Chain A
């Protein structure tokens, strides 16, 4: 069981806004940055959000990250079919002295 928790699935229709939550504790999300990754089927993960809210160049502004206390969220606005993928959050855990990933959320575009 992951130290950081995500819902296993989320869905929406094209154009909708979908939000994925990531819940942790004081030792990880509560005291460190959160990172988000998108993994399309059969490919390596891609960095979507770093330092909780920052987008790397090339990532559309439809993707946004937020953090409050021991929880974080990834929002996808204007949902598109190509957004259908697995999404993972991650944060450094001071107690474990290691990086922890959430279990992943599969986003389906209906």
Chain B
């Protein structure tokens, strides 16, 4: 069964750090670009970052550039998002998603259920 399961969310103070993980199963993880997308409470979707199958191509949204780092461990079929210098506006549900192909930059066919990150003092 193809699935993605996120973990690592929680409550953190402004300026703090958190590392999200996404465990993949049911497919050859290294064959796919992977993406993080977030959704603030009651708000729309916001793309955060993506990484190619081999980890050599990475893009970030301007809102997180310099603070967040995406990475992957293909041997463990896992995707990560290291979040530093967290701000209140980073509060959101964070989804990991599988990108259909490197060419289809906006086509995500498999999504996790999401993990909630709350940044508050």
Contact = CB atoms under 8 A, between A and B. Distances in A.
Contacts, number: 62
A35 B59 contact: no
A88 B59 CA distance: 21
A51 B105 CA distance: 10
Interface residues of B, number: 22
Contact of A50 (B46, B60, B104, B112): B104
Interface residues of A, number: 28
Given A47-B107, A97-B59, A102 B44 contact: yes
B105 A104 contact: no
Does more than half of chain A's interface fall in helix, strand or loop, or is it mixed?
strand
Contacts of A45: 45, 95, 108, 111
Interface of B: 35, 44-47, 50, 59-62, 95, 100, 104-109, 111-114
